[in-house]
Amino acid sequence: MRIDIITVLPEMLDGFVNMSILARAQKKGLVEIHVHNLRDYTTDKHRRVDDYPFGGFAGMVMQCQPIDACISALKAERDYDEVIFTTPDGQQFDQPMANALSMKENIIILCGHYKGIDYRIREHLITKEVSIGDFVLTGGELAAAVMADAVVRLVPGVLSDEQSALSDSFQDNLLAAPVYTRPADYKGWRVPDVLLSGHERKIKEWELAQSMERTRRLRPDLLDK
Nearer Cβ to ligand 6GU (145/174): 145
- List the x/- string, 46-85, binding to ligand 6GU by CB under 6 A: ----------------------------------------
Angle subtended at Cα 89 by Cα 11 and Cα 44, rounded to the nearest 5 degrees: 45
Strands (E) located in 39-178: 50-51, 61-62, 82-92, 106-111, 116-117, 128-131
Which residue from 145, 100, 148, 140 is spatially nearest to 2, judged by alpha carbons?
148
Sign of CA dihedral 68, 74, 77, 78: negative
Taking the complex as a whole, how short is the minimal distance between the CB of residue 131 and ligand 6GU, in angstroms? 4
116 binds ligand 6GU (CB under 6 A): no
- Pair 80, 106: CB distance under 8 Å: yes
Nearer Cβ to ligand 6GU (111/158): 111
Nearer Cβ to ligand 6GU (33/177): 33
Positions touching ligand 6GU (CB under 6 A) are: 86-88, 112, 130-133, 135-137, 139-140, 143
